Amino acid sequence: MVGYKYNTEQEAIDAVALCNKYYGIPVSEDSVTQTFTNYFFNESIGYYIIYSEELQQVLGNPQEIIIILNKL
C-alpha cells in the first residue's frame, strides 16, 4: 500500500490537522464529518496515513508502506 509514515503520534496528528485545515473540515462542531482523514498505528511501521489523491496536494508524494500483520 502507499501512504505517509510518521515517526511520532504528534507528527501524524499534525498531518491530519493540516489536511483538515486545507479542506475546511469540520465546517462546524455539529458537522457529521469531523476530520478529512485519520492516522493509524501498526507495530511494524508506526504511525501512518493511507494515501488518497486528495491528500497528495497537502502531504506531498506518498511512499510505499509494508505492514506486517501478526499471525494468531
pTM above 0.85, yes or no: yes
pLDDT tens digits for range 7-64: 999 999 999 999 999 999 999 989 999 999 999 999 989 999 999 999 999 999 999 9
Nearest-angstrom CA–CA distance, 46 and 14 = 15
Measured CA to CA in angstroms, residue 62 lies from 4, 6, 27, 43, 52 at distances of 6, 12, 27, 20, 9
